[in-house]
Amino acid sequence: MRKDCNRLLLIYNLLVSHLLRAGAIAGILLNTALSAQSASSAQTRQPASADTSHVVCSEKPSASRTVRTEVYASPDGHHRAYAEVEARALSAAQKGQSGPSCVNNSRLFIATDNNNFQIAFLQEASDSETGNALRIVDWSADSRRLLLELAQWSYDSPGVTNTPIIFDARHGVFQHFDLNHALSKQFGVECSLQVRVSGFASDGKIALETQPLSPEEEEVLALPTCAKKKAYWLLSPSSETLAALPDAAKASHNAKIERADK
Protein backbone atom coordinates (compact mmCIF):
# COMPACT_ATOMS: atom_id res chain seq x y z
CA MET A 1 0.00 0.00 0.00
CA ARG A 2 2.79 2.40 0.96
CA LYS A 3 4.63 1.57 -2.30
CA ASP A 4 1.49 2.38 -4.31
CA CYS A 5 1.14 5.75 -2.47
CA ASN A 6 4.76 6.57 -3.11
CA ARG A 7 4.37 5.67 -6.76
CA LEU A 8 1.26 7.87 -7.08
CA LEU A 9 3.03 10.74 -5.30
CA LEU A 10 5.98 10.47 -7.69
CA ILE A 11 3.68 10.50 -10.71
CA TYR A 12 1.84 13.53 -9.29
CA ASN A 13 5.08 15.44 -8.73
CA LEU A 14 6.24 14.68 -12.26
CA LEU A 15 2.94 15.91 -13.71
CA VAL A 16 3.05 19.13 -11.65
CA SER A 17 6.66 19.72 -12.70
CA HIS A 18 5.78 19.30 -16.40
CA LEU A 19 2.75 21.56 -16.09
CA LEU A 20 4.74 24.30 -14.35
CA ARG A 21 7.47 24.09 -16.97
CA ALA A 22 4.92 24.23 -19.79
CA GLY A 23 3.22 27.19 -18.14
CA ALA A 24 6.52 29.05 -17.81
CA ILE A 25 7.36 28.45 -21.48
CA ALA A 26 3.87 29.58 -22.54
CA GLY A 27 4.27 32.70 -20.43
CA ILE A 28 7.59 33.52 -22.03
CA LEU A 29 6.15 32.99 -25.52
CA LEU A 30 3.11 35.14 -24.69
CA ASN A 31 5.23 37.96 -23.32
CA THR A 32 7.47 37.82 -26.38
CA ALA A 33 4.46 37.95 -28.70
CA LEU A 34 2.90 40.84 -26.78
CA SER A 35 6.18 42.77 -26.80
CA ALA A 36 6.57 42.27 -30.54
CA GLN A 37 2.96 43.31 -31.11
CA SER A 38 3.44 46.38 -28.92
CA ALA A 39 6.62 47.37 -30.76
CA SER A 40 4.91 46.88 -34.11
CA SER A 41 1.94 48.99 -33.00
CA ALA A 42 4.27 51.71 -31.73
CA GLN A 43 6.07 51.78 -35.07
CA THR A 44 2.71 52.09 -36.83
CA ARG A 45 1.45 54.84 -34.54
CA GLN A 46 4.60 56.94 -34.27
CA PRO A 47 5.48 59.08 -37.31
CA ALA A 48 8.95 58.66 -38.74
CA SER A 49 11.39 61.42 -37.84
CA ALA A 50 13.07 62.68 -41.01
CA ASP A 51 13.30 65.48 -43.55
CA THR A 52 9.88 67.03 -44.20
CA SER A 53 10.87 69.26 -47.13
CA HIS A 54 9.21 66.89 -49.65
CA VAL A 55 7.03 64.01 -48.44
CA VAL A 56 5.10 61.75 -50.84
CA CYS A 57 3.16 58.51 -50.50
CA SER A 58 5.06 55.24 -50.56
CA GLU A 59 4.95 53.38 -53.86
CA LYS A 60 4.33 49.75 -54.91
CA PRO A 61 1.81 49.52 -53.35
CA SER A 62 0.73 53.07 -52.65
CA ALA A 63 0.59 53.70 -48.90
CA SER A 64 0.16 56.70 -46.61
CA ARG A 65 3.14 58.18 -44.75
CA THR A 66 3.51 60.62 -41.88
CA VAL A 67 6.87 62.29 -41.30
CA ARG A 68 7.76 64.75 -38.55
CA THR A 69 10.76 66.89 -37.78
CA GLU A 70 12.82 66.95 -34.65
CA VAL A 71 11.88 69.53 -32.03
CA TYR A 72 13.38 72.99 -32.58
CA ALA A 73 13.79 74.90 -29.31
CA SER A 74 14.30 78.68 -29.36
CA PRO A 75 17.64 79.98 -28.01
CA ASP A 76 16.00 81.26 -24.80
CA GLY A 77 14.25 77.91 -24.26
CA HIS A 78 10.75 79.42 -23.99
CA HIS A 79 9.41 78.10 -27.32
CA ARG A 80 9.57 74.69 -28.98
CA ALA A 81 8.27 73.67 -32.40
CA TYR A 82 8.00 70.71 -34.71
CA ALA A 83 6.37 70.11 -38.11
CA GLU A 84 4.46 67.05 -39.29
CA VAL A 85 3.60 66.19 -42.90
CA GLU A 86 1.01 63.57 -43.78
CA ALA A 87 0.91 62.12 -47.30
CA ARG A 88 -2.37 60.21 -47.58
CA ALA A 89 -2.86 57.58 -50.29
CA LEU A 90 -6.32 57.58 -51.87
CA SER A 91 -8.16 54.49 -52.95
CA ALA A 92 -9.52 54.11 -56.48
CA ALA A 93 -13.00 55.01 -55.21
CA GLN A 94 -11.71 58.16 -53.47
CA LYS A 95 -9.65 59.54 -56.33
CA GLY A 96 -12.10 58.74 -59.14
CA GLN A 97 -11.03 58.52 -62.76
CA SER A 98 -8.68 61.51 -62.93
CA GLY A 99 -8.05 62.53 -59.32
CA PRO A 100 -4.69 62.41 -57.50
CA SER A 101 -3.52 59.19 -55.90
CA CYS A 102 -1.96 61.07 -52.96
CA VAL A 103 -2.82 64.28 -51.05
CA ASN A 104 -0.88 66.08 -48.30
CA ASN A 105 -1.59 67.95 -45.08
CA SER A 106 1.17 69.82 -43.23
CA ARG A 107 0.98 70.96 -39.61
CA LEU A 108 3.11 73.08 -37.28
CA PHE A 109 2.99 72.49 -33.53
CA ILE A 110 4.17 75.07 -30.99
CA ALA A 111 4.70 74.79 -27.23
CA THR A 112 5.54 77.69 -24.91
CA ASP A 113 7.44 77.08 -21.68
CA ASN A 114 6.06 73.90 -20.03
CA ASN A 115 2.72 73.88 -21.88
CA ASN A 116 1.67 71.09 -24.24
CA PHE A 117 2.16 71.34 -27.99
CA GLN A 118 -0.73 72.98 -29.83
CA ILE A 119 -1.33 73.10 -33.58
CA ALA A 120 -0.49 76.60 -34.83
CA PHE A 121 -0.57 76.18 -38.62
CA LEU A 122 -2.31 73.83 -41.05
CA GLN A 123 -1.80 73.61 -44.80
CA GLU A 124 -4.30 71.36 -46.56
CA ALA A 125 -4.30 70.06 -50.12
CA SER A 126 -6.17 72.05 -52.74
CA ASP A 127 -7.48 71.22 -56.22
CA SER A 128 -4.49 72.87 -57.90
CA GLU A 129 -1.82 71.96 -55.33
CA THR A 130 -2.46 68.47 -53.99
CA GLY A 131 1.00 68.16 -52.44
CA ASN A 132 2.55 70.29 -49.71
CA ALA A 133 5.28 70.02 -47.09
CA LEU A 134 6.56 72.15 -44.23
CA ARG A 135 10.22 72.47 -43.19
CA ILE A 136 11.43 74.23 -40.06
CA VAL A 137 14.51 76.29 -40.95
CA ASP A 138 15.53 78.06 -37.73
CA TRP A 139 14.62 80.35 -34.85
CA SER A 140 15.87 83.93 -34.89
CA ALA A 141 18.66 84.87 -32.50
CA ASP A 142 16.23 86.82 -30.29
CA SER A 143 13.87 83.77 -30.06
CA ARG A 144 10.96 85.80 -31.39
CA ARG A 145 10.61 84.52 -34.96
CA LEU A 146 10.47 81.00 -36.39
CA LEU A 147 11.45 80.67 -40.05
CA LEU A 148 9.65 78.02 -42.12
CA GLU A 149 9.68 76.86 -45.72
CA LEU A 150 6.34 75.84 -47.24
CA ALA A 151 6.56 73.66 -50.36
CA GLN A 152 3.55 73.22 -52.65
CA TRP A 153 3.15 71.16 -55.80
CA SER A 154 0.74 69.18 -57.93
CA TYR A 155 1.25 65.44 -58.15
CA ASP A 156 0.25 65.61 -61.81
CA SER A 157 2.76 68.31 -62.82
CA PRO A 158 6.50 68.96 -62.48
CA GLY A 159 7.92 71.63 -60.20
CA VAL A 160 7.71 72.67 -56.56
CA THR A 161 7.04 76.18 -55.24
CA ASN A 162 8.91 77.02 -52.02
CA THR A 163 7.81 80.00 -49.94
CA PRO A 164 9.29 81.40 -46.72
CA ILE A 165 6.94 81.93 -43.77
CA ILE A 166 7.72 83.60 -40.44
CA PHE A 167 5.88 82.80 -37.22
CA ASP A 168 6.00 85.61 -34.66
CA ALA A 169 5.99 83.85 -31.28
CA ARG A 170 5.35 87.07 -29.40
CA HIS A 171 2.06 87.86 -31.14
CA GLY A 172 1.18 84.40 -32.49
CA VAL A 173 0.84 85.58 -36.10
CA PHE A 174 2.29 84.42 -39.43
CA GLN A 175 3.90 86.47 -42.19
CA HIS A 176 3.66 85.04 -45.71
CA PHE A 177 5.86 86.32 -48.52
CA ASP A 178 4.93 86.67 -52.19
CA LEU A 179 8.27 85.80 -53.78
CA ASN A 180 7.00 85.97 -57.34
CA HIS A 181 6.00 89.59 -56.72
CA ALA A 182 9.39 90.34 -55.17
CA LEU A 183 11.21 88.65 -58.08
CA SER A 184 9.10 90.45 -60.67
CA LYS A 185 9.87 93.75 -58.97
CA GLN A 186 13.58 92.90 -58.89
CA PHE A 187 13.81 91.86 -62.57
CA GLY A 188 11.20 94.23 -64.00
CA VAL A 189 9.18 91.41 -65.56
CA GLU A 190 6.83 88.71 -64.30
CA CYS A 191 9.00 85.67 -63.73
CA SER A 192 9.87 83.00 -61.19
CA LEU A 193 12.72 80.85 -59.87
CA GLN A 194 13.27 77.71 -57.82
CA VAL A 195 13.81 78.88 -54.24
CA ARG A 196 15.39 77.34 -51.15
CA VAL A 197 15.23 79.11 -47.78
CA SER A 198 18.69 78.97 -46.17
CA GLY A 199 18.07 80.68 -42.82
CA PHE A 200 18.43 83.98 -40.99
CA ALA A 201 21.38 86.19 -41.88
CA SER A 202 23.24 88.06 -39.13
CA ASP A 203 21.11 91.18 -39.70
CA GLY A 204 17.83 89.24 -39.33
CA LYS A 205 17.05 89.14 -43.05
CA ILE A 206 16.17 85.86 -44.79
CA ALA A 207 18.91 84.21 -46.83
CA LEU A 208 17.69 82.56 -50.04
CA GLU A 209 19.24 80.47 -52.79
CA THR A 210 17.62 80.36 -56.24
CA GLN A 211 17.97 78.15 -59.31
CA PRO A 212 16.53 78.68 -62.82
CA LEU A 213 13.24 77.05 -63.73
CA SER A 214 13.25 74.05 -66.03
CA PRO A 215 11.35 74.36 -69.35
CA GLU A 216 8.64 72.08 -67.91
CA GLU A 217 8.26 74.31 -64.85
CA GLU A 218 8.04 77.41 -67.04
CA GLU A 219 5.22 75.76 -68.97
CA VAL A 220 3.32 74.72 -65.83
CA LEU A 221 3.70 78.11 -64.12
CA ALA A 222 3.14 80.02 -67.37
CA LEU A 223 6.08 82.20 -66.31
CA PRO A 224 9.63 82.49 -67.67
CA THR A 225 12.64 81.91 -65.47
CA CYS A 226 14.08 85.12 -64.05
CA ALA A 227 17.71 84.01 -64.44
CA LYS A 228 19.79 81.29 -66.06
CA LYS A 229 22.14 80.48 -63.15
CA LYS A 230 22.22 79.99 -59.40
CA ALA A 231 21.96 83.16 -57.32
CA TYR A 232 21.89 84.27 -53.68
CA TRP A 233 19.62 86.83 -52.06
CA LEU A 234 18.60 88.54 -48.85
CA LEU A 235 14.87 89.07 -48.33
CA SER A 236 13.85 91.89 -46.01
CA PRO A 237 10.87 90.85 -43.83
CA SER A 238 9.82 94.48 -43.32
CA SER A 239 9.87 95.70 -46.94
CA GLU A 240 9.59 92.26 -48.65
CA THR A 241 12.28 93.34 -51.13
CA LEU A 242 15.24 91.33 -52.43
CA ALA A 243 18.91 92.28 -52.46
CA ALA A 244 21.31 90.28 -54.64
CA LEU A 245 24.49 88.85 -53.12
CA PRO A 246 27.71 87.82 -54.90
CA ASP A 247 27.99 84.74 -52.71
CA ALA A 248 25.85 82.73 -50.32
CA ALA A 249 25.03 84.59 -47.11
CA LYS A 250 26.26 82.91 -43.95
CA ALA A 251 23.05 81.74 -42.29
CA SER A 252 23.02 81.48 -38.50
CA HIS A 253 21.97 78.32 -36.65
CA ASN A 254 20.18 79.41 -33.50
CA ALA A 255 17.74 76.61 -32.68
CA LYS A 256 18.52 73.87 -30.20
CA ILE A 257 17.57 70.52 -31.70
CA GLU A 258 15.85 67.96 -29.50
CA ARG A 259 14.78 64.39 -30.22
CA ALA A 260 11.31 64.07 -31.77
CA ASP A 261 9.95 61.96 -28.89
CA LYS A 262 10.46 64.71 -26.30
Per-residue model confidence as pLDDT tens digits over 66-78: 999 999 999 999 9
**pTM score > 0.95 for this model?**
no
Q: Parallel, antiparallel, or unpaired for β 161-168 and 173-176?
A: antiparallel
What total number of domains does the chain contain? 1
CA distance to 90, 105, 127, per residue, from 262 (Å):
31, 23, 35
Neighbouring-strand partners of residue 27: none
In a domain, 36, yes or no: no
In a domain, 8, yes or no: no
Domain that holds residue 178: 45-258
Contacts of 46 (CB under 8 A, 6+ apart): 261
In a domain, 32, yes or no: no
**Amino acid 47: pLDDT:** 60
Mean pLDDT by 10 residues, the chain (262 residues): 48 47 47 45 50 91 92 98 97 74 96 96 95 98 98 93 97 96 96 97 96 96 96 96 91 89 56
In a domain, 38, yes or no: no
Q: pLDDT tens for residues 101-153?
A: 899 999 999 999 999 999 999 999 999 999 999 999 999 999 999 999 999 99
In a domain, 83, yes or no: yes
Question: In terms of residues, how long is the chain?
Answer: 262
**Amino acid 156: pLDDT:** 87
13 Rama class: left (phi>0) / alpha (psi -120 to 50) / beta: alpha
Q: Is 232 helix (H, G, I), strand (E, B) or coil?
A: strand
In a domain, 161, yes or no: yes
In a domain, 12, yes or no: no
